[in-house]
Amino acid sequence: MRIARISEKKITEEQEQVDVNLLDSLIEKYKDKKGNLIPLLQGTQDIFGYIPHEAFEKISSQVGIELSDMYGVVTFYAQFRLNPVGKHIIKVCHGTACHVQNANAITDALKESLKINDGETTEDGMFTLELVACLGCCSLAPVMMIDNETHGKLTGGQAVKIIKNIKIKESN
């Protein structure tokens, strides 16, 4: 069920230092609109990369949506995250076409190399790994997308190499 998406990892207070004032214009825009919860959450995630605890409270008190309703919606939709993300987001496509072209090999090699599971972020905050249903580039299967660049026709080894290259670039 969808509840499986909720990560057990708790974030420490140190990690969560967000400026909720950034939400003001967003709240202003959607405050009195019908069906505003999802756009509000999407906007929040656009700002912070995830939905921080403080944002929940601020939106709830200013827009008048129950915290429980917000949490219900956040955990229902795959798009929303409750944890901060790494600098680079790796999306490995697990659509049907990628699956039959062995997308598992890419995921397994990345998990092994980065020592993280689906939805988790490396300790150095560099990479977040996400398995997604379909990136729509079926003819290039198997595919992964790092930030906004798509890499196609991959093997596990090539995927790991791409990550290594990013690490090298970052350390320079």
Partner 1 sequence: MENIKVIVGLGSCGIAAGANKVFEKIKALKEADNLKFELKKTSCIGMCYREPLVEIVDDKGSYLYGDINEKKAAELIEKHILENEPIKSYVVQSDLFETPDKDFIKDQVKITLRNCGYIDPEIIEEYEVRGGYRAIRKIAGQRISRLDVIQTVINSGLRGRGGGGFPTGLKWKFANNNKADEKFIICNADEGDPGAFMDRSVLEGDPHAVLEGMIIGAYAIEATGGVIYCRAEYPLAIKRLNIAIEQARRKGYLGKNILSIDGFNFDIYIKEGAGAFVCGEETALIASVEGERGMPRKRPPFPAESGLWQKPTNINNVETLANIPWILLHGSEEYAKYGTEKSKGTKVFALAGKIKRSGLVEVPMGMSIRDVIFKLGGGIQNDKKFKAVQMGGPSGGCIPAYLADTIIDYDSVNDTGAIMGSGGMVVMDETTCMVDVAKFFLDFTQKESCGKCTFCRAGTKRMLEILTRITEGKGEEGDIEKLEELSYQIKDSSLCGLGQTAPNPVLTTIKYFREEYEVHIRDKKCPAKVCKALLTYEVDPDKCTGCMVCAKNCPTDAIDGARKEVHFIRQDACIKCGTCYTKCKFDAIKIY
Applying CB under 8 A, does 122 fall inside the site for partner 1? no
Q: Which of 11, 37, 85, 166 binds partner 1 (CB under 8 A)?
A: 37
Which lies closer to partner 1 via its Cβ, residue 19 or residue 164? 164
Binding segment for partner 1 among 16-24, 51-59, 121-129, 152-160 (CB under 8 A)?
A: 152-160
Which lies closer to partner 1 via its Cβ, residue 11 or residue 140? 140
Q: Which of 50, 56, 80, 127 binds partner 1 (CB under 8 A)?
A: 80
SS (H, E, C) the chain: CHHHHCCCCCCCCCCCCCCHHHHHHHHHHHCCCCCCHHHHHHHHHHHHCCCCHHHHHHHHHHHCCCHHHHHHHHHHCCCCCCCCCCCEEEEEECCHHHHHCCHHHHHHHHHHHHCCCCCCECCCCCEEEEEECCCCCHHHCCCEEECCEEECCCCHHHHHHHHHHHHHHHHC
Q: Which positions lie near partner 1, rule CB under 8 A? A: 1-5, 34-39, 41-42, 69, 72-73, 76-80, 94-97, 99-102, 105, 108-109, 112-113, 132-141, 143, 150, 152, 155-157, 160
